Chains A and B, each alone.
Chain A
Amino acid sequence: MAIENRSGNRRKRASIPPWLRGIGSTLFTVLITMVGLLFVTFIIGRVMPIDPVLAIVGESASRATYDAAYQELGLDKPLLVQFFIFLLDIAQGNFGESLLTARPVSQDLLRVFPATFELATVGTFFGVLLGVPLGVLAAVKRGSWIDHIARVVALIGYSMPVFWIGLIGLLVFYGKLGWIGGPGRLDIFYVDMVPNITGMILVDSLLMGDMGIFRNAISHIVLPAALLAYYSLAYISRMTRSFMLEQLDQEYIVTAQVKGLSANAVIWRHAFGNVKVPLVTVIALSYAALLEGSVLTETIFSWPGIGSYITTALLSADMNAVLGGTVVVGLVFVCLNIFSDLLYKFFDPRAK
């Protein structure tokens, strides 16, 4: 099918502009990937040794009730038909109801995903903001004290368990010093005062112009976000350093020096211009990992994000919630991949 499609494109090449064809082929890839992902999640849902009917009607239901529910769920139909019904439901944003919250899974996801998105974005932002320059500096001053400090910082980031740093952080900065807000996204006082516009409290409180809530939200997000930022900093700075060392060894660096450019121009304009290319992928992957929801961080800080949502659902055999969460996480991965591909093409003329 793919081959036919390609030759069809060739015939029409004159009429379709290349950027449109690019978008078309990207969308096609996304579609295929998503159907594949949904198929796998669907199969996992079906092979799990959990009876979805029993989960709904309960153990003491009569045979008639059980059969009725069985038919209502469409379980009597062939597997392939069931899969298409599943696809149609998801295309309409219908993931079924969660057993735990007794609400549609889609509503739950709209609530938990923005919380994770907010936390992961702030974390990644600072991880990149600090990690990239640290990595560049470590590479440029290789073997100096800055390089050693960067190495130790990253090593601690890799090896310290997050729950321990998180708890100590809460104990010191919240418990003893009282500099920051405690667990949760807001003080109890403010909860339910923010309208759910984007689901991200930082954004929503700004939209409604309430600086008090905004400041409170910041005091709550600062520690978990700093923690996530630290972990992504550890990874990003190490990767930046190794990419940078590779580029600094290239001949074009000598050319740039021969031209009489300053060290800054050589490092940032020439070497970093080339480091940007692989770095995009690394940052996207690290961001995606945080968007999956970091279960431990969310648990410690009572952060109602998607990580703790999926975990809780999984432990209580709430399959609709698990499937819905998986689909969202998968979608995030696909979107980030597309985005990093686009950036890649933007940064590297050879990829065009």
Chain B
Amino acid sequence: MTNLLEVKNLTVKFPTRHGVFEAVRRISFSLGRERLGIVGESGSGKSMTGRAILRLIKSPGILEADYITLEGKDLLTLSEKEMRRVRGHRISMIMQDPKFSLNPVMRIGDQICEGYRLHARASRAEAKKKTLSMLETVLIRDPERVFNAYPHEMSGGMGQRIMIAMMLIPDPQILIADEPTSALDVTVQKEVLEIMDKLVRERGMGLIFISHDLNVVSAFCDRVLIMYSGRIVETCRADQLHEATHPYTVGLLNSIPQLEHPVDHLEVLQRDDAWSKDPSVSGIVETEEIA
């Protein structure tokens, strides 16, 4: 059996006045029915990686790769129309801040129904029924009221649950979660993560969890890719993150304060130019290995 998703030598670059800027440089990784974390600082290319998989890099950005295969089928060879059947239907994405990622002038119910009706070719009534039950699944107490509400009437946590409902309603195989909790309060973060975790497990989906939060990723994912300056510098199992060897990962881990072992002086990350020049580490795993 092949991997759910396999990406080979993915590059995303932007032509600028001072030459070409490469946001993502020749990275390779695979995704099975697992939870894969991508960790890195701002600008390390992790969000671009997520968008590149959906082929949503805005012009003038350029997307290059040997292949991006979804169950063996190369997404790069699809026409834009075929690609639209993949988006939402097979690969979906949750974005950072529901305040900006929901359309402010459209009713929440309509926004959720929209994708479902498109992919399932469902009637209005059917879509509404499905939407209401989906809202219940993400633990929204009063689905009927939320269905008719507008995004500005919702809190951040509610908004993100709506986003999850919206992205999972066409039953995709892969969910990309791009910093889904960083705009939320810490208490709400946990709730949202738990809902997402439960749904992903139940449905046997693959999850790409993009975050800058090492703690969340190590607790939540099976496997982690650590990105730095557009490359994957290290890859390891999430529960073995503390055994990481790359100086960048070690530096990151050392700069996290720990409640049980307080230190007077947290280490400052010392950067090395060589990190951004080293070739990317492959994140491809054969399916047998994970199983």
* A positions within 8 Å CB-CB of B: 250-252, 254-262, 265, 269-270, 273-274, 276-277, 347-350
Contact = CB atoms under 8 A, between A and B. Distances in A.
Interface residues of B, number: 31
Contacts of B88: 258-261
Contacts of A250: 100
Interface of B: 51, 54, 56, 84-89, 92-93, 95-97, 100-106, 114-115, 118-119, 150, 152, 163, 166-167, 170
A259 B101 contact: no
Contacts of A261: 84, 88, 114-115, 118
Contact of B150 (A257, A265, A270, A350): A350
A350 to B, nearest CB: 5
Contact of A347 (B105, B114, B167): B105
Contact of B118 (A254, A259, A276): A259
B114 A255 contact: no
A349 B97 CA distance: 20
Contacts, number: 80
A259 B152 contact: no
A315 B114 CA distance: 61
Contacts of A260: 84-89, 115, 118-119, 170
Given A258-B88, A273-B106, A349-B152, A251 B114 contact: no
Contacts of B105: 273-274, 276-277, 347-350
A255 B150 contact: no
Contact of B102 (A252, A276, A348): A252
A258 B94 CA distance: 9
A349 B107 CA distance: 9
Contacts of A347: 105
A233 to B, nearest CB: 25
B106 A258 contact: no
A304 to B, nearest CB: 43
A262 B114 CA distance: 11
B101 A255 contact: yes
B114 A274 contact: no
Contacts of A257: 54, 56, 87
